[in-house]
């Protein structure tokens, strides 16, 4: 019996959406601390939501090119359990911020069609080299330079030896996540647009359907 595929619901801004994600069985919830995002949530508001997250559900704080000091201030106000860097942050910059708040971090990768398996494996090596605070890669298709765009990338670009260590993201929904998990067999999946009524406003039914579709893939794999 192998480990079931984990699921993160990202871009949570309201308590009712957090409740829906927890009730559906999400393993992680994400809060966007990038001010230009329509899903931006102020740290103080995130803290109120974080206080209601049951134990053993990860809370992920999402940053785009924030300074170490900015990360420190946000996490002091909103004590997420994990960081996610979604800008141009170098391994050194990710490590400095992660060490400043003593949190592990995920590194989002913009997967382009011209990337090779070797490129992705080298990318992971470069970040894994910073030490145990590196928690893994989140593979995404950026839109206009950012995440949360609801765009799928070519899953066949993901090397099989990398798949069990990555979070698969980008344009996922209940309609394609079963196929995505069966094809890629990632450690986890992540979704924002695909479970929304509008940016930052989640649909409880879509959240439940997404988590159920992930479970369907696991059942078909005998997990």
Ligand X SMILES: O=C(O)c1ccccc1NCC(=O)[C@H](O)[C@H](O)COP(=O)(O)O
Q: Which is nearer to ligand X, 11 or 43 (CB)?
A: 11
Question: E-strand spans in 96-212?
Answer: 105-110, 134-140, 167-168, 188-191, 196-198, 201-202
Active site residue 10: yes
Please report how close the Cβ of residue 30 comes to ligand X at its closest, in angstroms. 6
- The count of chain residues that interact with ligand X, using the rule CB under 6 A, is 25
Please report how close the Cβ of residue 161 comes to ligand X at its closest, in angstroms. 23
- Cα–Cα distance for residue pair 179/194, rounded to 1 Å: 15
Per-residue x/- marks for ligand X, 19-58, CB under 6 A?
-----------x-x-x--x-x-------------------
Which of 25, 104, 150, 159 binds ligand X (CB under 6 A)? It is 150
User: Using the 8-state DSSP alphabet, how is residue 143 labeled?
Assistant: B
13 binds ligand X (CB under 6 A): no
63 DSSP β-pair partners = 85
- Cα–Cα distance for residue pair 154/111, rounded to 1 Å: 8
Q: Are 29 and 12 in contact (CB under 8 A)?
A: yes
Catalytic residue among 17, 27, 94, 140: 140
Which of 139, 193, 207, 209 binds ligand X (CB under 6 A)? It is 193
Active site residue 140: yes
Q: Are strands 134-140 and 28-32 parallel, antiparallel or unpaired?
A: unpaired
Please report how close the Cβ of residue 222 comes to ligand X at its closest, in angstroms. 27
11 binds ligand X (CB under 6 A): yes
Q: Which is nearer to ligand X, 108 or 118 (CB)?
A: 108
Q: Are 111 and 184 in contact (CB under 8 A)?
A: no
Q: Which is nearer to ligand X, 18 or 161 (CB)?
A: 18
Question: Helix, strand or coil for residue 58?
Answer: strand
Question: E-strand spans in 44-99?
Answer: 58-63, 82-85
Please report the sign of the dihedral spanned by the C-alpha atoms of residue 147, residue 148, residue 152, residue 155: positive
Q: Which is nearer to ligand X, 136 or 147 (CB)?
A: 147
Catalytic residue set:
10, 140
Q: Which residue ranges make up the site for ligand X (CB under 6 A)?
A: 10-11, 30, 32, 34, 37, 39, 62, 64, 86, 140, 146-150, 169-172, 190-194
């Amino acid at each position: 019996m192998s480990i079931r595929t984990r699921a993160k619901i990202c871009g949570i801004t309201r308590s009712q959406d957090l409740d829906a994600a927890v009730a559906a069985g999400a393993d992680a919830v994400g809060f966007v601390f990038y001010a230009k995002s329509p899903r931006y949530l102020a740290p103080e508001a995130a803290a109120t939501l974080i206080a209601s997250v049951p134990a053993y559900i990860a809370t992920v704080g999402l940053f785009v090119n924030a300074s170490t000091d900015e990360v420190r201030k946000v996490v002091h106000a909103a004590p997420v359990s994990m960081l996610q860097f979604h800008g141009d942050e170098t391994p050194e910059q990710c490590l400095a911020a992660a060490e400043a708040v003593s949190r592990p971090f995920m590194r989002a990768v913009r997967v382009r069609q011209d990337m090779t398996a070797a490129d992705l494996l080298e990318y992971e090596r470069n970040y894994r080299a910073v030490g145990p605070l590196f928690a893994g890669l989140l593979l995404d298709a950026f839109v206009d330079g950012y995440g949360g765009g609801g765009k799928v990338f070519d899953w066949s670009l993901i090397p099989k030896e990398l798949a069990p260590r990555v979070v698969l993201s980008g344009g996922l929904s209940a309609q394609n996540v079963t196929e995505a998990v069966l094809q890629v067999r990632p450690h986890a999946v992540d979704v924002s647009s695909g479970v929304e009524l509008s940016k930052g406003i989640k649909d409880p039914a879509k959240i439940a359907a997404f988590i159920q579709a992930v479970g369907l893939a696991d059942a078909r794999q005998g997990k």
